[in-house]
Structure 1
Amino acid sequence: MSAGPPQQPFHGLIVEVQQESSEAKRRQLPRYAASLWLMLDCPVTLLCICPDVTTAAFFAKPIPTDLPGYVAQVVVLGPDDVPAISDAAEVAPHPEVAVLSVLVHQERKVAEAFVRGLQLMPNEYAPQYYEYAYDMASRAARRTLEELMASSTWLVSSPFAREHFGRGKSEGRAEGEAEALLVMLDARGLQVPDSTREVIAGCTDTGMLEKWIRRAAVIDKVEDLFD
């Protein structure tokens, strides 16, 4: 993602939720940053959200690379950096922090306060914060959120609202991911045939598009994108 006008962003941001320490994943992060920097031509920040102290400390260490002079530094948010918000009254005035609290602490009381607090917010904003939290949460945290939403009387919990809001959100996100992938391939100077562009533009699987974006950072030819 980026901040500023789409044609002239002034800062790029890569957000990763890391559930465990992985050296392979850690060494991929500088590649992501370099690719986004090439694509946007502006400063890029790597942000890792970690649910436990050990994982947070692991990703906070500087990451050396094979490129001389390039050492990546990740900004880490772990349990020691984000308060555990268990009071619904604190969610509405600080929804961004509440989302991070759900991701980092993964406690039921935090999820309960989050869902109750969203009901105190304007309906045009609350669903978006719920989707942010749900999209980045662990499987266990997602199950908790789904359970709480199923028993909630909040508008978004109705089958109609959940189906149609979720569909629009998914379609919009897939379109944005596809556009970002094509921009990255073009920025790396890779020739993209029209048939490949059609496949990318027509893909609605956001998970697959994210995999292709990560692969696009390291491939040497477009043919390798779908391997």
Structure 2
Amino acid sequence: MVVLGPDDVPAISDAAEAAAHPEVAVLSVLVHRERKVAEAFVDGLHLMPDDHAPQYYEHAYSMAPPPVRRTLEELMASTAWPVHSPFAREHFGRGKNEGLAEGLSKGKAEGEAEALLLMLDARGMHVPDSVRERIIRCTDTHVLEKWIRRAAVIEKVEDLFD
């Protein structure tokens, strides 16, 4: 079993480093929960390609505990960079058309699935197409959250669904 903690993930407090290693920067925000780490992450978003930065923000935000989410919201509100990524806007608009609760639930499940795949990628795990498809098709956020927690400690992708 592998467990990641503050000693295993560097506290990235430099925007250029966050932009150069965005997957680690996301994990750093989640593990260290320090304002300076969140600030470096948000500042690093400005240095990332526009088509990547929103995805990393979405992943960090969706996996963060409420206090870290509030910090990210505060930091994003103070920048010129759009607070809502294209992913979030797409699902918000879809929610209006499908019914807000249903759209939000669907968007959350898709975000959780993407967060799970990002976690596995950040840990250097190869995800076979069949596993990727199972994750993407899952709409149960409780199941996806359970898989995300498992993804932090498993040694091989096959152990994700046990």
Code of the residue aligned with 1:128 in structure 2: it is Q
CA distance in 2 between counterparts of 1:211 and 1:144 reads 22
Match of 1:116 in 2: 43
CA distance in 1 between counterparts of 2:79 and 2:88 reads 16
User: How big is the shift at 1:207?
Assistant: 3.0
1:182-226 CA distance string (max 9 Å, x none): x69xxxxxxxxxxxxxxxx8x96x53554798xxx79xxxxxxxx
Question: Are residues 81 and 92 of structure 1, via their aligned partners in 2, closer, same or farther at CA, if it must alter by over 3 Å?
Answer: same
Question: Are residues 84 and 212 of structure 1, via their aligned partners in 2, closer, same or farther at CA, if it must alter by over 3 Å?
Answer: closer
1:112-158 CA distance string (max 9 Å, x none): 11001011000111111111111111111111111111111113x26
CA distance in 2 between counterparts of 1:121 and 1:174 reads 20
- SS of 2:60's equivalent in the other structure is helix
Which structure has the larger Rg? 1
- The count of aligned residue pairs is 121
Matched, 1:84 2:11: yes
User: How big is the shift at 1:175?
Assistant: 10
- Tell me: higher relative CO, structure 1 or 2? Use CA pairs within 8 A at least 6 residues apart: 2
- SS of 1:173's equivalent in the other structure is helix
Does the 8 A contact of 1:112 with 1:148 survive in 2?
yes
Match of 1:173 in 2: 110
CA distance in 2 between counterparts of 1:79 and 1:176 reads 24
Unaligned runs of 5+ in 1: 1-73, 185-200, 219-227
Match of 1:103 in 2: 30
Match of 2:99 in 1: none
Unaligned runs of 5+ in 2: 95-105, 115-130, 148-160
Question: Are residues 80 and 128 of structure 1, via their aligned partners in 2, closer, same or farther at CA, if it must alter by over 3 Å?
Answer: same
CA distance in 2 between counterparts of 1:90 and 1:143 reads 23
CA distance in 2 between counterparts of 1:145 and 1:165 reads 20
Percent identity over the alignment is: 58
Higher-strand-fraction structure:
1
CA distance in 1 between counterparts of 2:12 and 2:112 reads 33
Code of the residue aligned with 1:164 in structure 2: it is R
Give 1:139's match in structure 2, choosing from 56, 63, 66: 66
- Alignment RMSD (CA, Å): 3.8
Higher-helix-fraction structure:
2
Match of 1:93 in 2: 20
Match of 1:154 in 2: 81
- SS of 2:110's equivalent in the other structure is helix
